[in-house]
Structures are given as C-alpha cells and as structure tokens.
C-alpha cells in the first residue's frame, strides 16, 4: 500500500475479545461503547478472526487507518495480530494495567458486573480522548 492511501479520518479499534478471562469481555464491551456510542463516525471496529483469515475489508482497514488494539491479557494477542497484519499501532490499551489503575475488577467472563461496566466506560472514554488526539480534533 502506498503512503498516499493511508487515511487519517478514522481509527481502527481492535479488541481481543478473549474467551478465557473476564478482561476479554471488558475489551469487547469498551470497544462497542467507543464505536457505537462515543465516536461512531471516527472509528471502525476490526474483528480479529476474519482479519487473521485475510478477509476484506478488515485486512485493508488495519493497513489504512491508525490502530488502537485493546488487549485483555498479557498475551497481547490483539497487538500481535495487528502488527502481523501490517497495522499502524498508534495507541494501546492493556486491560490488566487499567484494572489496577482504576481499581475496578469485573465479576466474570459472562457477566462483567457493575464494576466491569464502570471499567469499560472509563476505558472507552480514554480511548475516545486518544482518538480525538490522533485525529487532531
């Protein structure tokens, strides 16, 4: 892809959505809050499984827009997969760090509970601020 085709009007959000831990559910929840509520016109949500499979448009989106991966655990799968697929990482959320920072712990993978909801909201707000910064607004 030529540099001319890189776009700076949206940010790609890449949540891990891991199944093993409650923090994967937080990654998913905060991504939805950003793309559906806080910055719907400035973001595109990238689904990891089709990205790995090379399915368009995801494989093109990560090469076109600046990306923010959201990792649910220290394995950092979203970041690794994004990098492997040519993404331009411009910001990153590692949820275990955010749990400590905000002292909010989700209940479980199937039900994040009130604290999990609060954590997802706080992270979504942080991501929204980062999006505005990246897009220069």
Partner 1 sequence: MTLATGKVGIICCSGEDFAEGTISRVATRLVLEKLRPDQTVTLCLPLFLAGGEDERAFARVFPTIAVDGCSKKCAEAGTKKFSGKPVATVLVSEVMKKYPHLKVRSREKLEPQEMELATKVAEEIAKKVDEILCKTAKK
CA–CA separation, 24 vs 6, rounded Å? Answer: 29
Residue with smaller CB distance to partner 1, 8 or 124:
124
Which residue, 73 or 135, has its beta carbon nearer to partner 1?
Answer: 73
Least distance in Å: CB of 101 to partner 1?
23
Write down the least CB distance from residue 116 to partner 1, Å: 12
Residues lying near partner 1 in the complex (CB under 8 A) are found at 15-20, 24, 28-29, 31-33, 36, 45-50, 52-53, 55, 75, 77-78, 80-81, 84, 109-110
Smallest separation, CB 119 to partner 1 (Å) = 15
- Nearer of residues 17 and 99 to partner 1, judged by Cβ: 17
User: Minimal distance in Å, beta carbon 125 to partner 1?
Assistant: 16
């Amino acid at each position: 892809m030529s540099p001319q085709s890189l776009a700076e009007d949206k940010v790609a959000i890449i949540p891990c959505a891991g199944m093993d831990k409650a923090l994967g559910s937080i990654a998913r929840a905060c991504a939805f809050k950003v793309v559906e509520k806080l910055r719907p016109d400035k973001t595109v949500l990238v689904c990891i499984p089709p990205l790995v499979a090379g399915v368009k448009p995801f494989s093109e989106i990560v090469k076109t827009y600046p990306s923010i991966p959201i990792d649910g655990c220290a394995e950092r799968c979203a970041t690794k997969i994004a990098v492997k697929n040519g993404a331009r990482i411009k910001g990153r959320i590692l949820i275990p760090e955010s749990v400590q920072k905000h002292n909010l712990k989700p209940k479980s993978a199937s039900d994040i509970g009130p604290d999990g909801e609060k954590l997802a909201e706080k992270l979504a707000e942080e991501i929204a601020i980062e999006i505005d910064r990246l897009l220069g607004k």
